[in-house]
Amino acid sequence: MPLWSFAVGPLSNRPPQFQNQYSLVNEDGFLRLAAISRRVLALPPEILAEIFLFCLPYRGDDPVALNPKDAPLVLCAVCRQWRITALNTPYLWNGFLLLGPPRSHNFSTREAGSLYVDLCRMWLSSARSLPLSLSLRAFQPRKTFHSVLELVISRAHQWREIVLHGGYELSLPVDGKYPLLEKLTIFFLPPAHPTLSFRDAPRLRDVYMPSFTGRIQLPWHQIIKFRIGCDVEDCLEFLRHASNLVDAHLRVKPTYYSSYFDDLVLPNAILLPQLQFLDLSAQWRDGEVLPMALLQYLETPALQRLTLCFEDYDSTDSTCDISPFLSFVSQPSFKLHTLTLSRLPTTVDDLVDCLKAAPTVAQLELQISDHILNLNPLFAKLAGHGDFLPQLESFHISLSGASSIADPSLVLTALEWRCISTPFIRLQYFRFVVYIDDRNPELEDIDDCDIDAINDRKTEEYLKSFKSYALYPVLQVSGTSFSFGEYFLEWRAVHPK
């Protein structure tokens, strides 16, 4: 008898239609609990513990919420042996999301709060000395929240990943020690909150702070990944000290006037020798200079991926100065692989100049701003010019508003040259997207059904017109993955990920 058939026998479910080795797995990949035989209950605790780990609900990188219907709590309700095994498996309990006690008709608010605190205490104690991944949001009642907060803070020496959503005071020691902390997320601190120091966190590498404040002290020299929202001066200050930074996502607060940098005492060029991924974003208004202006103060010889996002909340006729970008990508030994320009407020000629200055780019993503009314010069440059983006393998372009700014015939001609005729590197992936934007004044007083009609009438007709050209079926068999699609954009800025 083969070994696998012996293994399936004791683990098999009843009724017979579940008799196969995949019977505990749903179509979506999650384990399900089904009727099991007593022979399963006799499995050694070590095997059960391994199986229990696969029962934990998967939430990506986020800790799971305390839910009695999910593992590990539901495993404790099966039988005494499973409860003992689960409680003696610390890896089931070293990460969770604290959202407060659920509403209950069976308990008063005080009773529910007390039970929730006891549950959190049991959960933390079951993790024993393992590193903890915790996420804490403020909740009601406040007394229960502060009791849970005290429990979380009492385990600060075990934090590996901590998410503090903010809005409450953290009674952390001034000279606190965090020997296991690797990832820190703090959304915001209340006004006049005492200074928090994480300088004694030798493993801290990843920090996320949507609203940066100098009241949080960090070991800048050891940070390799940083995602923050800040003003210009704070941005330059921590970049000057974060010499080992590898991945930086910076949302810079607007300056509101073009002479801002003339009044600011700036350091010499900031060298970031390890930086590989840089994402800069800022709101664009008349007279604004961000995020482009920051580039002129950075030296990043190892940079591989650059993203510039202009959050275009106010449509204007003014354009930004591209000279900082041209200087930035002209650094010696600079070999940029991936470039994303989102709503760059410039002309099509300046856009072409930006791309011409980055010949090593292999992956390009463009979200065209309303400032550009004619994209044909860009596609004309893509056809037959071997010195223009010679390494290009992937190209994603999206348009907002009128799709007629790009001639289908010219787009397909450029694709044919890039995918078939070019003697250089061929384009492997192309995506063309048109967004319908309800910020258009023409759509302000139109209900959703009429907007859908406009979407169908204009955008879909335009995109379908590509198929009427003789080049389209030729490209379909070229081996390049390409698509033409549409999205409806609500009142929000859309930024490439």
At 421-454, the pLDDT tens digits run 888 888 999 988 887 654 444 444 545 444 455 5
Please give the angle made by the CA atoms of 457, 462 and 468, to the nearest 5 degrees.
125
**Would 314 be classed as within a structural domain?**
no
**Would 404 be classed as within a structural domain?**
yes
Judge whether residue 480 has pLDDT over 90: no
Among residues 119, 133, 139, the alpha carbon closest in space to that of 72 is found at: 119
Judge whether residue 490 has pLDDT over 60: no
Q: Residue 14's pLDDT is what?
A: 40
The pLDDT tens digits for 58-105 are 655 566 677 778 888 888 888 888 899 999 999 999 888 887 777 765
At residue 136 the predicted structure's pLDDT band, cuts being 50, 70 and 90, is confident
What DSSP state is assigned to residue 264? S
Judge whether residue 248 has pLDDT over 90: yes
Q: Residue 107's pLDDT is what?
A: 61
Q: Residue 492's pLDDT is what?
A: 27
Range with the largest mean pLDDT of 21-25, 189-193, 462-466? 462-466
Q: Residue 489's pLDDT is what?
A: 34
- The residue-averaged pLDDT of 16-32 equals 48
Among residues 360, 436, 429, 433, the alpha carbon closest in space to that of 391 is found at: 360
The pLDDT tens digits for 149-201 are 899 999 999 999 999 887 677 777 777 899 999 999 988 777 777 888 899 99
Give the range among 10-19, 110-119, 396-405, 422-431 with minimum mean pLDDT.
10-19
Q: Residue 128's pLDDT is what?
A: 92
Q: Residue 41's pLDDT is what?
A: 61
Q: Residue 114's pLDDT is what?
A: 87
Number of domains in the chain: 2
Distance CA 314, CA 456 (A): 27
Sign of CA dihedral 306, 312, 313, 314: positive
Per cent of the chain over pLDDT 70 is 75
What mean pLDDT is reported for the chain?
79
Residue 263 phi/psi, 5° resolution?
-95, -5
Q: What is the largest CA-CA distance in the chain?
A: 83
Q: Residue 2's pLDDT is what?
A: 35
Q: Residue 223's pLDDT is what?
A: 95
Please give the angle made by the CA atoms of 278, 226 and 158, to the nearest 5 degrees.
155
Q: Residue 183's pLDDT is what?
A: 95
Task: Provide the CA 134 distance to its chain's centre, in angstroms.
Answer: 19
At residue 260 the predicted structure's pLDDT band, cuts being 50, 70 and 90, is low
Which residues make Cβ contacts (< 8 Å) with residue 185, sequence separation at least 6?
A: 161, 162, 163, 164, 207, 208, 209
Q: Are 157 and 128 in contact (CB under 8 A)?
A: no
**Would 197 be classed as within a structural domain?**
no
Q: What is the number of other CB atoms lying within 10 angstroms of the CB of residue 186? A: 21
Q: Residue 305's pLDDT is what?
A: 97
Q: For residues 22 and 138, which has the higher predicted lDDT (pLDDT)? A: 138
**Would 464 be classed as within a structural domain?**
yes
Q: Residue 263's pLDDT is what?
A: 59
Judge whether residue 259 has pLDDT over 70: no
**Would 18 be classed as within a structural domain?**
yes
**Would 284 be classed as within a structural domain?**
no
**Would 138 be classed as within a structural domain?**
no
Distance CA 496, CA 365 (A): 8
Range with the largest mean pLDDT of 302-311, 424-433, 451-460, 468-477? 302-311
At residue 262 the predicted structure's pLDDT band, cuts being 50, 70 and 90, is low
Distance CA 180, CA 178 (A): 6
Q: Residue 255's pLDDT is what?
A: 62
Q: Residue 37's pLDDT is what?
A: 56
Q: Residue 17's pLDDT is what?
A: 43
- The residue-averaged pLDDT of 450-463 equals 63
Distance CA 390, CA 174 (A): 55
Judge whether residue 406 has pLDDT over 50: yes
Q: Which domain holds residue 4?
A: 1-42
**Would 212 be classed as within a structural domain?**
no
Q: Residue 212's pLDDT is what?
A: 82
The pLDDT tens digits for 336-384 are 999 999 988 889 999 999 999 999 999 999 998 877 888 999 999 999 8
- The residue-averaged pLDDT of 234-245 equals 88
Among residues 227, 219, 216, the alpha carbon closest in space to that of 179 is found at: 219
Q: Residue 486's pLDDT is what?
A: 57
Let me know how many helices (H) and strands (E) the chain has, helices first.
15, 18
Q: Residue 67's pLDDT is what?
A: 76
The pLDDT tens digits for 386-397 are 889 999 999 999
Residue with tokens 């940098």: 261
